[in-house]
Structures are given as structure tokens and as C-alpha cells.
Amino acid sequence: MSYTPSSLVACPNLQEDLDRIFGAEPAKYYIEPVPFTQYLMSPANRSDLKMMVSPGSAKTRTVQAIYQPRILSSEVQSNVSDYCNASTERGTTSTTYSIDTTQNLFIEQSFDVDNLAAACRDNADWFNDQILKMVVAMDSRVNQKNATQAGALLGGWSSDVAGIPFATLSADVLKVRTQKTASDTDIFYQSQQAVVSAAEASHFGQFITIGGFGLHNYMKMMEHGCCASSGLDVASLQREFGFASVRDRDVATAAGGNEFAWAVANGSLQVLYYNRWQGLFESRDANQSYGVINSPSTGMAYDLVVKHDCGVIDVTLTATTKLVALPDDMFQTGDHMEGVKGFAAIEVDNA
């Protein structure tokens, strides 16, 4: 969505943009990478869960998800003589997902029409560029919010992970090393397979690792075949494993530092978002516009209001979001998958 205030007047070309003078790419400096939110909003991760957030009068939107934990193999009986009767009734359980529409993020900017001649650019281009910069700031703040909320949603690993060589399962954290010893910086290549094995044992399917430099640098080195002397084609192994490594500064902060990362299975986390002006609430006339604008970086939809009142243009941007995860009790007590929800912590420990 774009908006062009008709009353803006272009000025003589008395100045040049810094980007044009130095030949810089604007995105290089202005746009803060938000890989965590980009992944969350990607087609590989998204589901129809977002459909539960729709316009209406209630402040809190809620949906109840019903599911049944899988049957334990220990419930299978042996050597029975009665093949015709059953006595066990297995019910369903549920979890509630909700979003409070009053909990939002907000950014605003005001423009005095009489002062805009100093912009020395095409009115539409300049104004839309200002909105884009607001969207970039909102993307960054939403990414921080997603990372912070995710930290409270972590699940665990299968208990089988405790038996994986070259890794340690401490509480719900998978500990691996990236170098042979604290003083020997030679790469410890077995940890890559340990992470993949942990994800496989925990039924993650396709996943990413995301977090600080500790694990990400190691994975990038593995991609470039640093360990050719070992006789392994590590780059081919990396492509075969079916996962990607991503560094995200907000995730590193939320997770506890550069030595921490998260393994995130596709579909295990979802961003709920609410748009106040979508559908019947969307309107536009000569002096005001109420609508939705999508981030070009993440696809996230934000509420956008543009009002022109007596020479002053007000622009506001609002994001109403909430991160949710799979239920904690998808697996029963006694199941080796108890506590697994496709989202778990990794720590690099080279001590």
C-alpha cells in the first residue's frame, strides 16, 4: 500500500542524497536483518493458524486446539485371549491460543507540508520512503518481540538424545562443542552430526538452527569444507542433512548469548497477528487513509493510518502480534518424546 499526499510541493534540486554521493546501497545501512521473523513468516513455516485472528469487537481472540497425545507402546498387551472386548477410553486434550488486541507495537511520524520542500525529491517517492523506514523500524522491533516470546516457549529433546555421541543432554539443552579443546581451535566436526541426530531422534523433520555466532560460525565453516583433511566431504554432508544455520542477534540476546542457539522445526512456531483496519474497516478518502501495509522483508501486515489535517500529515503504524508454539503435552509421561514440541535449545560448550 502506498499513499501520495497531493499537497506536497517539489523543490529545486539543491542537494543530493548521501546514498547517491557515496554510491551506497540504502538497504545496506537502513535495513536491520530480521532472519528469525523472516523464517517464521516464510511459506515453509506458516500454517492456517493465522486465520483465527480476524476483525471483530472483542479485545481478546481465542481458539481452542484439540488433540490427542499418542498412545504409549507400553499400553500394547501381549498374549490376550479376549479379542472382542475393549475397556480403555482415551479422551482428547486441548490448548488455548489467544491474542490480546490491546497489546501492540506503535510508531508514528508527523510531517509539516510547508517544510517538506527541503526533501528535494519526487513527493510520492519521498513520502513512501519515509513509510518504508518506519516499516523497517517496526520489523526490527517485531523481531525482538518474537525472540523474547520464543524464549518462554522452549520445549525439550527426546530422551534418546542423551545417548548421542559427542553431545550432552543437560536438562532440556543439547550441549555440543565446535573445537577440540578450549585452547585448540581445530574444528570438532562431529557436532554437526550430533545436532542432526538429535533433531532426527526428536522427529523435527526439516528445521533450522538459529542464534549466536558460536554455532553459526561452526556451521558456515562446515559448509565450506574446512575439514577436507579428515577425508569427509563435509559440504556434501551439510547439503544432505536438510537444515540451515542462521545467525540472529535478537535470538542470541534472548537465548542468553552467542554460545546459544535454537533448533526450530518447520511449523513448530507461529506468529499470530491482528489487523484493525482489514476488511470492512479499511477506508480511504482525500484526507485520510486507514488500511494495511505489508512489510517487504517479512510479509507481516501492519495497520497504517495516514491523515492530512490543515497542512500537517500524521502517519502511524501499528503491529499487533503474538508468538505461539505447539502444546507442551503432546506426548504422555513415559513417552521418550515427552516435552518435545519441535523447538529446543542448543549450547556451544568448548570448555
CA pair distance 142, 130, nearest whole angstrom: 19
264 pLDDT above the threshold of 90: yes
- Nearest-Å Rg of the Cα atoms of the chain is 25
pLDDT of 125-177, one tens digit each?
A: 777 888 889 999 999 999 999 999 999 999 999 999 999 999 999 999 999 99
Grid coordinates of 28: 545496506
| Residue 268 resides in a domain | yes
Can you tell me the mean pLDDT for 253-274? 94
pLDDT of 47-65, one tens digit each?
A: 655 444 444 555 777 777 7
| Residue 13 resides in a domain | no
- 234 pLDDT band (50/70/90 cuts)? very low
| Residue 8 resides in a domain | no
Residue 246: give its domain's CATH number. Answer: 3.90.1690
- Min mean pLDDT across 37-46, 151-160, 224-233 is at 224-233
Average pLDDT, the chain: 81
| Residue 10 resides in a domain | no
194 pLDDT above the threshold of 80: yes
Q: Report the Cα–Cα distance between both ends of the chain, in Å, rounded.
A: 52
Can you tell me the mean pLDDT for 314-334? 92
Check residue 200 and give its pLDDT. Answer: 95
Check residue 223 and give its pLDDT. Answer: 66
| Residue 317 resides in a domain | yes
Burial of 123 (C-beta count, 10 Å sphere; 0-12/13-18/19+): middle
CA pair distance 75, 77, nearest whole angstrom: 6
CA pair distance 262, 218, nearest whole angstrom: 14
Residue 24's domain comprises: 19-351
226 pLDDT above the threshold of 70: no
Identify the top-confidence range among 39-53, 113-127, 307-321.
307-321
- Min mean pLDDT across 24-33, 98-107, 293-302 is at 24-33
Can you tell me the mean pLDDT for 85-114? 86
CA distances from 219 to 16, 144, 290 (A): 42, 24, 45
Structure-model confidence comparison of residues 237 and 65, the more confident one: 65
| Residue 6 resides in a domain | no
Check residue 87 and give its pLDDT. Answer: 84
| Residue 269 resides in a domain | yes
Can you tell me the mean pLDDT for 112-133? 74
Q: How many structural domains comprise the chain?
A: 1
| Residue 125 resides in a domain | yes
**How far is C-alpha 322 from the chain's CA centre?**
11
Half-sphere exposure of 348 (CA within 13 A, CB side): 28
245 pLDDT above the threshold of 60: yes
Enter the pTM of the model. Answer: 0.82
Identify the top-confidence range among 246-255, 301-310, 311-320.
246-255
